[in-house]
Chains A and B, each alone.
Chain A
Amino acid sequence: MKHRSLIRDLVLPVAVIIAGFAALSPLSDLVASRKPQLPESYKDADLFVKGRELKGFVLGTDSLVADWYWMRALQYIGDKVVNSNEDLRLDDLRNLDPRLLYPMLDSATDLDPHFIAPYTYGAMVLPAIDGNQAIAIAKKGIANNPNEWRLYQHLGYIYWRAKQYENAAAAYEQGSKVEGSAQFMRLMAASMKSEGGSRSTARAIYQEMYANTTDDAIKKTAESRLQELQWLDERDAIDEKLAEARTRTGECPQRLNDIVPSLLTVRLPASDLAVDARGNLVDPTGAPYVLDRGECRVEIDRKTSKLPLETN
């Protein structure tokens, strides 16, 4: 009798629970496989409620709703990056066509005009997508926060990327007048006017960005840009030594290693040329350079280098 009761009250229910969980796994997969997928266009559908329309209707939670728009903007870009399977940099997301980024950042800053992060993010990402939108968001930030010198720096950066060096100089100049602004702003105002398109100016911008950002994605982008600038300096130095060797011997060297001794004396603006443990010349990402003997020029090894493919 007791035995039957044990089976009825414990063994049977436990068996039901185990069988139930065993059935749940395939059922779960079946439901998931049949759930209709949202079309790709769903995520890119126009925003149907904009921040400025919500102002005054969100019961004093404007700042919270601004946070929501901001997080949506980050997720929007993040999802696109994850799904693209490309090696992308934050400052060039043209391939993703993130057309809703500006409306989202605009909405976030409509609801909370003193929310600096969306302006910063917009200054970094928008210039490659739509220069006018990038300028608009930076100017909006300055209008709402005239004492934030970083926003002038963002505007200067946007103009610099658009090769509008006079405007960039003006933005840096204005920012340098804000109390508490970094010395860097005054230096940039001067160098934009005289050598806006130079590598040294670019290096100064990205070094500053790398040193002062708290955003990992922006830091990674700045690091990548600095490596790219270093590659350009190294390429010029190596090509020069290759040309010298060809003039001297009448033919291009067989291997890059042949000119390594002469390159070791070369001093570059940021850091000097590097060789790996095998004595090969390596690019800023640590991948060995290759020699194009036909052109007698140094090349990046496209298979191993982590440098961006489009360099000039």
Chain B
Amino acid sequence: MPNQNSFSTIYAVARNAFREAVRDRVLYNLIVFVLLLTAAAIFLGELTAGQEARVVTDLGLSATLIFGVFIAIFVGVSLVWKEIEKRTVYSLLSKPVSRTNFILGKYLGFCVTLLFNTLVMGLGVTLALVYVGGGKFIAGVWPAVYLIFLEMTIITGVAIMFSSFSTPALSALLTFFVFVIGHFSSSLRDLAQSMGSDAALVFFNIIYYLLPNFSHFSVIPNAAIGQTPPASMIAYATAYAAVYDIILLTITTIIFKRRNFK
């Protein structure tokens, strides 16, 4: 259990991680996002035969997910690696900062960045919906935005885990694979069931339970038809993400503690 001192250390590292992300102009993606949504809201009326609100919801939430995932992958893999590469990790770890607290601080600081990013994007989608007269979709948008954020916390965890023992390029690639497979794992398991092969079923069941199941966080089609997920689903999804994050951070700290920086 981290003590008071640990909390303040984690907080200090997290605050620096957030500042670093802002300094690295990570949030500039918001400008592109806003431009995309503005263009969509203005021009989609011509293309979608009266379905602007639905398309704005689909496009806005999908862009939130894709932008967020790419930031989580590419910034996530460099969070720890950059400190090692620039050798700033030596001065950090020579202070009373444990490796566990360092990882936790980095992770939480970056999650705050992602949260801010996602909130602004959610606000953008909301404003675009108001503009195209799709007010009734807004209630479904915010749960979807929250679930997207949960998905990004897991992806960040995966990225940090891979980057704790691998190069940034390979870590980014592996994290991307996890993102893709995580979205297909339910379908792959269903496919294995219909194939009737026991070996395939066992294999895809292992993948299904071992890798994160991102379809749990995907309610974009529901939001696009004005459906709102029940509170219980959101609560269980939060618990699922929290448990997965804990697992990933635990694995990362085990690896990071054994890493020799010489």
Residue numbers of A with Cβ under 8 A of B are: 9-10, 13-14, 16-17, 20-21, 23-25, 27-28, 30-32, 34-36, 38-39, 42, 45-46, 48-50, 53-54, 57, 82
A143 to B96, CA, bound (A): 77
A20-B243, A21-B209 given as contacts; is B257 within 8 A of A9 (CB)? yes
Is B222 a contact of A20 with CB atoms below 8 Å? no
Contacts of B239 in A (CB 8 A): 27
A53 to B43, CA, bound (A): 12
Is B47 a contact of A24 with CB atoms below 8 Å? no
Is A36 a contact of B227 with CB atoms below 8 Å? yes
Is B230 a contact of A24 with CB atoms below 8 Å? no
Partner of B216, one of A14, A17, A35, A57: A35
A51 to B219, CA, bound (A): 26
Contacts of B236 in A (CB 8 A): 27, 30-31, 34
Q: Which 6 A-B pairs have the closest CB atoms?
A: A48-B51, A34-B233, A20-B247, A31-B216, A30-B236, A27-B240
A247 to B47, CA, bound (A): 73
> Chain B nearest CB: distance from A20 CB in Å?
4
Contacts of A57 in B (CB 8 A): 47
- Say whether B130 faces chain A, with CB atoms less than 8 Å apart: no
A-B contact pairs, 16 of them (CB 8 A): A13-B253, A20-B250, A21-B209, A27-B243, A28-B213, A31-B233, A35-B216, A36-B229, A38-B227, A48-B54, A49-B47, A49-B48, A50-B49, A53-B49, A57-B47, A82-B194
Contacts of B254 in A (CB 8 A): 9-10, 13-14
A24 to B227, CA, bound (A): 26
Residues of B198-244 at the interface with A, using a CB-CB cut-off of 8 Å, are 209-210, 213, 216, 219, 221-222, 225, 227-230, 232-233, 236-237, 239-240, 243-244
Is B49 a contact of A31 with CB atoms below 8 Å? no
Residue of B nearest to A10 (CB): B254
A173 to B228, CA, bound (A): 58
Is B244 a contact of A24 with CB atoms below 8 Å? yes
Contacts of A50 in B (CB 8 A): 49
Contacts of A42 in B (CB 8 A): 221, 225
> Chain B nearest CB: distance from A50 CB in Å?
8
Is A38 a contact of B221 with CB atoms below 8 Å? yes
A48-B55, A53-B47 given as contacts; is B222 within 8 A of A31 (CB)? no
Partner of B222, one of A23, A27, A28, A36: A36
Contacts of A21 in B (CB 8 A): 209-210, 247
Residue of A nearest to B209 (CB): A25
Given A27-B236, A34-B236, 10 more A-B residue pairs with CB atoms under 8 Å apart are: A9-B257, A13-B254, A17-B251, A20-B243, A20-B250, A24-B244, A28-B240, A34-B232, A36-B219, A49-B48
Residues of B60-84 at the interface with A, using a CB-CB cut-off of 8 Å, are none
